[in-house]
Structure 1
Amino acid sequence: MMYPRLTLLKEFLHEEGSIWISIDDSGIAYLRNLMDEIFGRDRFVACNVWQKRYSRENREAIGDSHEYLLVYAANPEKFKAVRKKSL
């Protein structure tokens, strides 16, 4: 279900653009493989961890208080150059 959408998003991505996708523990491995296939491993920029809450979830044995943020860029070098511009 995600493959056609991500393929379409890749077509719309500007040369200096990037795509940021938030996902939880259950899907990170699958999404990373899918993104590598569609965008290419060389387009990977980062996998950031986002803490979505400070207290643990008591309904589970181990609480998941974070999500992952995958970042891919059409052209990682141009993306980095744009991101590092001084004000």
Structure 2
Amino acid sequence: MKKVFFSAVALVTFSFAGMANEIEEKKDVLIVRNNCDVFADGVYNNQINDGCSVEEAHEASVGAYNDCIDLHNKYNISLTEA
């Protein structure tokens, strides 16, 4: 009788343990724009408003973005917005 009871308990325990790995975890994804993205967008918009072509505005904004990243890396400043 003890063996039957132990077997039943073991069967239930292992059944739950086997199902435990089948729970799918949902992970939320947070996309954070950094300060340099916002800065480069502002440079681009200012260039367009000043009458520059799309290509000129793009080049200016890419340069501003790269300068911003270099500055943040040089002084170890956080890139995320507060």
TM tier, smaller = under 0.3
TM-score where L is the length of structure 1:
0.20
The structure that has the greater radius of gyration is: 2
State TM-score, norm by structure 2: 0.21
Structure with the larger helix share = 2
Higher relative contact order (CA 8 A, sep 6+): 1
